[in-house]
Amino acid sequence: MTLIVGHVSALARFPVKSMAGEALPIAELDWQGIEGDRQYAFVRAQNGTRFPWLTAREVPGMVLHRARFADPSAPKTCAIAIDTPDGGSRSLHDAGLHAHLAEAAREPVSLIQVARGVYDSMPVSLQTSAGHRALEAAHGGRIDPRRFRINVTIESELLPEQWQGLRLAFGDPSEDGAIVQCADPIQRCVLITIDPDTGAKDPTILRTVAQRFSACYGLYSAPARPGLIRVGDPVRVVG
């Protein structure tokens, strides 16, 4: 027996950690996560800690750079372009781009590629329309959902934490849809204070999330069966 709990309303992947990403009509879920998601990251070259990544914590302007695959259907083989805040476009490997980030960070940086994805925790993030509405109601105004860098947004009247420990299947049972294992709510940090269009910080958003939602927004999940996720797919709880 299965129960339809909503429909996929948006999909996104982020080819470069901490940069803006790209909306997708279809996402391929493999064992490491959504194909192409967080494939690259900039590293603080002289940082020897367990978290060496250069992120928008250090350089808020990273969120104003949009990373996209030149051929969205072939993330394993195609090049990545970076749309810059000045309206230009550069290769991800452009030396000038790297120098710009190093100058903003005030330290040397380097680029790495990790085939399994550079994740802080689990590879797939979920949120529901009800979950986002609850945040906006608590905050008293609209909040751009792009701040939270969610992979799969589901139109549903349920809060995502109601699915903890359950499996969600995407698409009709007869199709090649993916299945994910839902896990824990996602702990949030200062990154959500950064406006995705301007780079300006609004600390009141993190304050609302911390005070009203135990610092959590969205739900982590992990691949349980590789497959496709499409915008419009029904989402089912399965055994």
pLDDT band at 1 (very low <50, low <70, confident <90, very high): low
User: 160-191, pLDDT tens digit by residue?
Assistant: 999 999 999 999 887 889 999 999 999 999 99
Given a cut of 90, whether residue 49 has pLDDT beyond it is no
Q: Which residue has the tokens 């689990």?
A: 122
Q: What pLDDT is recorded for position 75?
A: 84
The domains located in the chain, with CATH, are 3-238 (2.40.33.20)
- What is this structure's pTM? 0.94
User: 73-124, pLDDT tens digit by residue?
Assistant: 888 888 999 999 999 999 999 999 999 999 999 999 999 998 888 998 899 9
Given a cut of 80, whether residue 2 has pLDDT beyond it is no
Calculate mean pLDDT across residues 49-74.
Answer: 92
The answer to whether residues 114 and 41 touch, using CB atoms and an 8 Å cutoff, is yes
Separation between Cα atoms, residue 51 and residue 2, nearest integer Å: 40
Separation between Cα atoms, residue 98 and residue 43, nearest integer Å: 11
User: 208-224, pLDDT tens digit by residue?
Assistant: 999 999 999 999 999 99
Calculate mean pLDDT across residues 67-77.
Answer: 86
